[in-house]
Chain A
Amino acid sequence: MSEQERLLTIFCRGVRHPQVSGFEVLELLDVRSTLARGEEELSEEQRKELEEADGVFLKHAGQFYENVAQVANLKEMRKRATVPPSHWWWYLEKLGPAERVAL
């Protein structure tokens, strides 16, 4: 398994769990950024998988944001990680309303 494939698997699986701690959401954002840096290495099929995972991520963006906001200032985290504006997934506060998931 290539490094990009491994990261893609982590991201695809991770987006399905919006109820976890904000500390894990930050990890997910890191993984998505690493994937983005090597996106040209992804096959067409892998790009499609990533697109689908991004869709799931967007669906849960509100919940992800709520969880991060409990443990960190997202703006500060972006600054610390020198996140480029093109990494839209880091801007959770602008990606949609909170989705409430029943426990």
Chain B
Amino acid sequence: MVNEQVDPSFRTEAAAAIRVLRQRVQWKPGKAAAHLEKRKTMGHLSPESSVEDYNGVIQDLAREEKPHVYLYRFGSERYYAVRGAVSGAEWLAIATKEGIMETAFPPDKTDEYLNKRGFVLIGTIQEVLT
């Protein structure tokens, strides 16, 4: 399912961001550790998980074809979110248009979360990349 209202250039931008994630996961300075600690506290990742494990979850998501890709805009900034299943839970990985990680976590109610924030569906990863 593709939202025709999304500017084609944003689709190209989303594809570029996903390709970056597939290659490497890069966080803003100091943010990987902070997010990892929260994932452990929340029980989203096991206590012995490393940043590499966390990044692995994100890359696994980005390397799939079926997860949905969403666009979120804030002023001139654009973020792309990949929504997919990880070990039975639905995760959301959000990155900047340059493919820099903002966060990755399993929202309590993903549909509600995305709707309330104004995320717009672009399509599946497969659709975005072709």
Whether B41 and A17, one on each chain, are in contact in the complex, defined by CB atoms closer than 8 angstroms, is: yes
Chain A binding surface, main DSSP class:
helix
Tally of contacts, chain A with chain B, CB under 8 A = 60
User: Would you list 27 pairs from A and B whose C-beta atoms are within 8 A, ordered by A residue?
Assistant: A10-B42, A16-B41, A17-B34, A17-B41, A19-B34, A20-B34, A20-B35, A21-B31, A21-B35, A21-B102, A21-B103, A23-B94, A23-B103, A23-B117, A24-B103, A24-B105, A26-B113, A26-B116, A27-B108, A30-B108, A30-B113, A34-B108, A71-B102, A72-B117, A80-B117, A103-B30, A103-B34
Chain A interface (Cβ < 8 Å from any Cβ of B):
7, 10, 13-14, 16-17, 19-21, 23-24, 26-27, 30-31, 34, 71-73, 77, 80-81, 103
Which chain A positions have C-beta within 8 A of B74? 71-73
Whether B41 and A13, one on each chain, are in contact in the complex, defined by CB atoms closer than 8 angstroms, is: yes
Which chain B positions have C-beta within 8 A of A14? 38, 42
Which chain A positions have C-beta within 8 A of B105? 24, 27
Closest Cβ–Cβ distance, residue B84 to chain A (whole Å): 16
Which chain B positions have C-beta within 8 A of A72? 74, 117
How many angstroms between the C-alpha atoms of A20 and B31 in the bound complex?
A: 7
Interface centre among A14, A20, A81 (most CB of B within 10 A): A20
How many angstroms between the C-alpha atoms of A26 and B112 in the bound complex?
A: 12
Closest Cβ–Cβ distance, residue A31 to chain B (whole Å): 6
- Nearest 8 pairs of A and B residues by beta carbon: A21-B103, A19-B34, A17-B38, A103-B30, A81-B116, A21-B102, A13-B41, A23-B103
How many angstroms between the C-alpha atoms of A14 and B118 in the bound complex?
A: 23
Whether A77 and B41, one on each chain, are in contact in the complex, defined by CB atoms closer than 8 angstroms, is: no
Which chain A positions have C-beta within 8 A of B94? 21, 23
- The residue of chain B having its C-beta at the shortest distance from the C-beta of A26 within the complex is B117
Interface residues of B in 88-125 (CB under 8 A from A): 94, 102-103, 105, 107-109, 112-113, 116-118
Which chain B positions have C-beta within 8 A of A71? 74, 77, 79, 102
Which chain A positions have C-beta within 8 A of B127? none
Closest Cβ–Cβ distance, residue A42 to chain B (whole Å): 17
